[in-house]
């Protein structure tokens, strides 16, 4: 849906945010996520290949088509380039040297956000 070379302002939504948005209507996490979504809705909204993978893992089969439709229609999809993947590796190496163990998903999303100037 989106040019892979896009480098403008926007928000990279993570898996937890997507999960919160899809909780039951009276769930406090969903209410907070919906409020935040309304606040940032003037900007381009992105999901990464990592977030789609993690999110779809937890979606029950009967609602998979609905979830896929939501992701395709509401958000721009990002997959990391080679350079962004290499940046993710560098970021992970740096954090590992400091005694932290970031997940691959987290450093890939961080690299996408840094490279494409996203929040």
Neighbours of 14 (CB within 10 A): 19
Query: Is the pTM value of this prediction over 0.85?
Result: no
- Look at residue 23 and give its three-state secondary structure: coil
pLDDT bracket for residue 19 (50, 70, 90): very high
pLDDT tens for each residue of 23-71 = 887 889 988 988 988 888 778 999 999 999 999 999 999 999 999 999 9
pLDDT for residue 9 = 77
pLDDT for residue 102 = 98
Contact 6, 43 (CB under 8 A): no
- Count H helices and E strands in the chain, helices first: 6, 3
Place of tokens 């999901």: 47
Q: Which domains does the chain have, with CATH numbers?
A: 10-116 (3.40.50.1010)
């Amino acid at each position: 849906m989106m040019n892979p070379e896009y480098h403008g302002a926007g928000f990279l939504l993570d898996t937890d945010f997507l999960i919160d948005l899809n909780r039951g209507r009276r769930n406090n996490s969903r209410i907070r996520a919906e409020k935040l979504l309304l606040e940032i809705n003037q900007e381009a909204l992105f999901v990464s290949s990592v977030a789609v993978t993690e999110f779809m893992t937890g979606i029950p089969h009967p609602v998979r088509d609905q979830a896929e439709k939501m992701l395709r229609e509401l958000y721009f999809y990002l997959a990391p380039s080679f350079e962004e993947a290499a940046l993710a590796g560098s970021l992970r190496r740096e954090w590992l040297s400091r005694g932290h163990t970031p997940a691959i998903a987290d450093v890939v999303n961080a690299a996408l956000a840094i490279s494409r100037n996203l929040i």
